Structure 1
Amino acid sequence: MRQWRVGSMSMGVLLISFGILLLAALIQQTPVINLILDWWPVVLIILGLEVVVYLFLSKEEHPKIKYDLLSMFLIFVTGIFSLGMYTVSSIGLIPRVTAAIASQEYTVVAPESKIRVSSSVEKIEFILPNAPINFKKGEEGQLVIFARGQVTAESMERAEELAVQGKVTADQVGEVLYVQFSDVPQAKSFNLGAADFTYTVFLPEDKLVEIKRQYFYNSYHYYPVEIDSDAVSNHFMVDVSGSVRLRVNSQADLAVTAVVIGPNSLRGNVDWSMETQSETHETVGNVSFGSGLHRVNIVNQGDVEVIFFDYVQVEETFF
């Protein structure tokens, strides 16, 4: 006589159900993960119904349910699965897991920020975001900032919503314009957000510029800063951690001083004049272009790279 085992019918029904759901998802090209996560308690209902129906339909006066190793294993797997799903649901992890499974990378351009710079402003001080940033020459009396990058999200609309969170605020106090960035949420673990986001800043002319980066105790990332020499129309002060690249053309008129942790941190295709400070053991590098009218002072825990290129050579190569 065939022996019935607890869990065998339940497991068969569940496998058939999941197979039908997955097949329907492939044909209709719709996500099935939400249905599975929402209806997981049915596993317990089916298992309980199987026991009740067997006891009800059994013709024996004292029906006995046989538990063998396979049945016990099926029940154990079902119980662990149910407890795990309940735990995940209670801590709110399911929505994030679902979103991460259904997400993909989208290329997003954040809304452009245009800030009028009054003639009374002598200096612009930037508190940089935790993202790469480039400084370029802009128009007189106007500061323009935009960002572009890859955002991981469930849809293009959601990616644009995340990108908009990277806001720029500007406040003038006396003769100083303070510009601060709000970071776009970063994509990590099951959190959606920016995977690769880069800011570009177009600077007005004849303004002192100071660049700093906000630090957090749990931030271990050092994002690069790149500066075009055309953007340097007055003195620059850069105090960051991470790589700093200065692109210098043949028309530049500036003097660069970089304080770094060692001589190997001074890079590029220029001849650095170096000296080591006796107290701090830091290396100070200097290099000048033209008469050195505008000064660029860099204090950095990472590399400082100066790349010199000639407009004429680039033009001849291009044409």
Structure 2
Amino acid sequence: MRTWRVGTISMGISLVGLGLVLLVSQITDMNLTTILLSWWPLLFIILGAEILFYIYFSRKESSFVKYDILSILFVGLLGTTGIVLILLTSSGLMDQVRAAVNSEEKTVNLPGFNQKAGKGIQRVVLDTGSYPLTIESGKDEEVSVFGTYGERVMEDADALLNKPEDYLLVERNGDTLYISFKDLPIQNGLLDSGTMNLKATLIIPAELAVEIDGQSTDLVLKPRKLLNDWSVKDSGSLSVFLQDNSDIKIDARGVEELEGPENGWKMTEVKEETSEEGFVKKNGIFNIGKGKHTLTVTDTFNVNVQYP
């Protein structure tokens, strides 16, 4: 009596097919995942055809059908792997895995922004957003932004930011120009961009009054030769860089730490109230030159004046 071992031929064909797939993917540089997703259903067709074939011929011959458990398990394992790949692809996880494997972290230039302040503009109201920012006064009449940011994207993919509107909002209302920095987009999933490192510099015409809402972020001010008053509120750490010919008065109110040249700050009052961390809030004046124009700082953790 002849014995038929169902599953042996299926495993043999599966091994040959898998070997061909691996060989083709190496030679043609094709995506192995795409090939596996395409051909794995053939495994069940081959195994089913083999079972039907042996059942049919076992009726004509005096034969005994025996199942090759090891071979069937191997074919089933390949098929299960294919099913898992299909589920991952349909749920979008496979695309996330591909993106994470093929991604790269790089530093990219911010799309530059240049716009004339316009006639009738008297002041600028600035919302710095959640990223550190450097703010300078300029001689030109233009408001300009430049800098860099870090992003994690797939290789050869387009940049995350392509135009100034992607990270900056600029609106005019009457004699005021409102400028707001937007939060950068964050992609959820395996390709998580996380906290991006944005470094931007904003240049504002020196003759305009400026009101800055620091949003508890670190700021760097380079006022140079101010021709109007500036104010900063709710900043984390504020660094002010002054020049030899600076003519400015810094009026700090409700600040927890005042730093700068020795004997530079004149304490006007120590407020009795304390912050949540237990720091005593201070008021102080730092004067360079005649102090014709004033930089007012309120509700800021630290003010550090850098003076040559």
How do 1:30-49 residues align onto structure 2 when only pairs under 5 Å count? 32=31, 36-37=33-34, 39-40=36-37, 42-43=39-40, 45-49=41-45
Match of 1:20 among 11, 14, 23: 23
Match of 2:224 among 220, 224, 230: 230
TM-score w.r.t. length of structure 2: 0.73
TM-score w.r.t. length of structure 1: 0.71
How do 1:85-234 residues align onto structure 2 when only pairs under 5 Å count? 85-155=85-155, 158-159=158-159, 162-164=161-163, 166-186=166-186, 189-191=190-192, 195-212=196-213, 223-230=217-224, 232-234=226-228
Q: Between Structure 1 and Structure 2, which shows a larger proportion of strand residues?
A: 2
Q: Is the 8 A contact 2:137 2:204 kept in 1?
A: yes
The number of equivalent residue pairs is: 290
Aligned residue type for 1:127: D
Kindly report the root-mean-square deviation, in angstroms, between the aligned alpha carbons of the 2 structures. Answer: 3.8
* 1:12 partner SS: helix
- Structure 2 vs 1, CA of residues 186 and 272 (structure 1 numbering), >3 Å: closer, same or farther? farther
Q: Could you list the per-position Cα deviations for residues 10-58 of structure 1 after superposition, in whole angstroms to 9, with x for gaps in the alignment?
A: 7635652553355337xx5xx73xx515752533x13303412432453
* Cα distance between partner residues in 2 of 1:186 and 1:269: 41
Larger Rg: 2
How do 1:293-312 residues align onto structure 2 when only pairs under 5 Å count? 293-299=292-298, 302-308=301-307, 310=308
* 2:67 equivalent in structure 1: 65
| Structure 1 portions without partners, runs of 5+ | 215-221, 311-319
* 1:288 equivalent in structure 2: 286
Q: Is the 8 A contact 1:151 1:163 kept in 2?
A: no
* 1:277 partner SS: strand
Aligned residue type for 2:297: I
Aligned residue type for 1:122: Q
Q: Is the 8 A contact 1:151 1:193 kept in 2?
A: no
Q: Could you list the per-position Cα deviations for residues 60-92 of structure 1 after superposition, in whole angstroms to 9, with x for gaps in the alignment?
A: 456343435x9658736753x445434433333
Percent identity (aligned): 18
- Structure 2 vs 1, CA of residues 92 and 117 (structure 1 numbering), >3 Å: closer, same or farther? same
* 1:136 partner SS: strand
- Structure 2 vs 1, CA of residues 15 and 204 (structure 1 numbering), >3 Å: closer, same or farther? same
* 1:249 equivalent in structure 2: 243
Q: Is the 8 A contact 1:272 1:285 kept in 2?
A: no
